[in-house]
Amino acid sequence: MDLLTSLKISSSGLTANKKRMAAISSNIANAQTTRTAEGGAYQPKEVVFGSEPAKESFSEILSGEMDESAQTVIAKEVSNSRKPPILKYEPNHPDANAEGYVAYPNINTMEEMANMIEASRAYEANINAMNTAKSMAMKDLEIGRN
């Protein structure tokens, strides 16, 4: 695998994890939001990851010059969670329904924090991979000088 391919793969991981951290931050910030512009309680966001071949151009794809197993990460979509809201009995709350229940987002803050740590570690790992690839390229240039 060449330098540019490894950098492209790592940068795709950085982009995908950045989107994941943004979604997690939004979930944590809105953990108690009972009213949104769309109506109802805030819907937690989930990022769906996928992969695609790490090909640069159509000619590379046709000639098969690059390793077939090289894949980049993509954040396919940011979707709303399908978890139903949590109903709490608070008859004096302005967003209470006729029975006195308020719909709160189904967000476990501790779980979201663990997901944030996982995403930040993945982000950090991709930065380390980029730095290692850069360091190896610099060592290659030093060998060429001697």
Distance CA 77, CA 92 (A): 38
Tell me what pLDDT residue 68 has.
60
Provide Rg for the chain, Cα atoms: 22
pLDDT of residue 65: 55
* Residue 66 in this model has a pLDDT that exceeds 90: no
Q: Which residue's structure tokens are 């139903």?
A: 84
Cα(98)–Cα(36) distance, integer angstroms: 19
Contacts of 95 (CB under 8 A, 6+ apart): 34, 35, 102, 103
pTM of the model: 0.81
How far apart are the C-alpha atoms of 134 and 109, rounded to whole Å?
37
Which has the higher per-residue pLDDT, 138 or 121?
121
- The mean of the pLDDT values for the chain is 88
Percentage of the chain exceeding pLDDT 90: 63
pLDDT band at 70 (very low <50, low <70, confident <90, very high): confident
